[in-house]
Amino acid sequence: MRGHLKKAGAAADEDFGWRRAWSGSAAREGVWSNIRSAEVMLLQLVSDEEVAGRASEVMALVKDHLETDDPRRVRLARRLRSIISGEISPSDRDLMVRALDAAYNALDDELARVRSLRNILWTATFVVLLGVAGLAVYGWFFPQSLSLCFTPKVEPGNASGIDVVCPTAEHRNVPVGTASSLAQPRDILTVEIAGLAGAALTVIASLRRIRGTDSPYMLPLASAVLKFPTGALSAFLGLLLIRGAFVPGLSDLDSRAQVLGWAAAFGAAQHLVTRLVDERAQMTLEEVGRPTDAANDPERAAVKEIAAEGEPAAPGPQAAAPSGNGEYEGPLEGPREGTGEEEREPEPGRPAGS
C-alpha cells in the first residue's frame, strides 16, 4: 500500500514542462490508479464495521463499472444485506475486495479509452493542419500550379477576350489561355480562411449538443478543434472539384463573391464527416461509469439483470421470491434508502419469516 502511495506522490510531483499538455493527463490518471489500488488494499485491513459502512459505496461502484451478469456483481448483490447488517465472513470481505478492484480496473480502462481517443483527435488535427499549411505555402510560391481561377464566359463578339475570376481578384477581357497565369499567391490562403469561417459556424451550432463531463480529458474540445482545419481543407478541395467540372452545372462561378461563398459552404460541409467523430466522442464519454452492455444494448442488459436476479440465492441473505405472476418480489441488494426497511432478527422460538 505504501508503494502505491509513493508512486502516486511521485507522479503528482513530476514536472513535465512543455510536455504537460500531452503527458500531464496520463500522469493524473496514474495518480488516481495508484490511489485506488491503495484503497483496495486498505479494505483488506480495516475493521468489520468499516467494511459494513463501505458496502453500499462499493456496490454503487460495482454497478457503475461492471456488467450486469458479472459474477462478482451478482454475488455481492446477494450478500449486501448481510454485510450491511454486520454479518461479515472472511469470504464476504474477499468478495468486496475483488469486486472493488474489478470496478476500479474497469474505470481505468474506460478512462484509458477516452484518453486514447483524445490523443487520436489531437494527432489528426495536427496532421490536417500540416496539410492545410503546406497547401497554403505551396500555393504562395507556385500559384499557377494550383490555380483556383474560373473563366465564366467569353465576351460576345470578342472571342479573344475572356473574364477570369479568382478568389482575390477579377479580370475582365483578358487573352484566352492566361487564366492560370493570373492566379495570385494568396488565393489558396484566402479560400482556406473562408473555409475556416464556414467551419466555425458548424462548431457554434454543435455547441448546443455538447454536454459537460467529469472526465479529466477535454474530448469535446478536441472534437471541435478538428473541424477548423478540416473546413479549410474541404473548402480547397471543393473549389478544386468545381474548377475541374466534377460537379455538373457548377463550373461557371462568375464573381469573386461566389467563389468565396462556395468556399465557406464547403467549409461548413465538413460537418457531414466530423459529426461522425462527434458521435463517437460522445458515445465514448457516455460509456464512462456505465456497464458496457448497458451502454450498447439496454434491453439486453435488462434481460441479463432479471436473469441474474432469478437465480437461487446463496444461504444466509434474503433472496427474491417469485410471485404468482412470474415477477420477483423483495430486493436482492439490501433495503432502499429512505424507505425505512430494515432486516430484523427472528425472535427466539419463532421461525424466520413469520
The answer to whether 61 and 84 are in contact (CB under 8 A) is no
The pLDDT value given to residue 211 = 66
Q: What sections of 142-174 are H helices per DSSP?
A: none
Neighbours of 254 (CB within 10 A): 14
What is the phi/psi pair of residue 145, to 5°?
A: -75, -20
d(C-alpha 244, C-alpha 250), whole Å: 10
The pLDDT value given to residue 328 = 38
Give the C-alpha distances (Å, rounded to integers) separating 325 from 234, 248, 334. Answer: 61, 66, 23
What is the phi/psi pair of residue 57, to 5°?
A: -65, -45
Element (H, E) at 172: strand 170-175
Neighbours of 99 (CB within 10 A): 24
Q: β-strands 328-329, 321-322: how paired? A: antiparallel
d(C-alpha 186, C-alpha 223), whole Å: 29
Residue with cell 499538455: 21
The answer to whether 105 and 34 are in contact (CB under 8 A) is no
**Blockwise average pLDDT, block size 10, the chain, 354 residues:** 57 55 59 74 84 88 87 90 87 89 86 86 94 94 87 61 84 75 89 94 81 70 91 93 77 84 93 87 74 45 49 42 40 43 46 46
The pLDDT value given to residue 216 = 65
> pTM for this one?
0.67
The pLDDT value given to residue 311 = 46
The pLDDT value given to residue 174 = 78
Burial (Cβ within 10 Å: 0-12, 13-18, ≥19) of residue 285:
buried
The pLDDT value given to residue 319 = 40
Residue with cell 492566361: 178
Q: What's the full length of the chain, in residues?
A: 354
d(C-alpha 139, C-alpha 296), whole Å: 47
The answer to whether 195 and 209 are in contact (CB under 8 A) is no
Q: β-strands 161-165, 328-329: how paired? A: unpaired
The pLDDT value given to residue 119 = 87
d(C-alpha 224, C-alpha 204), whole Å: 9
3-state secondary structure of 139: helix
The answer to whether 96 and 55 are in contact (CB under 8 A) is yes
The pLDDT value given to residue 14 = 61
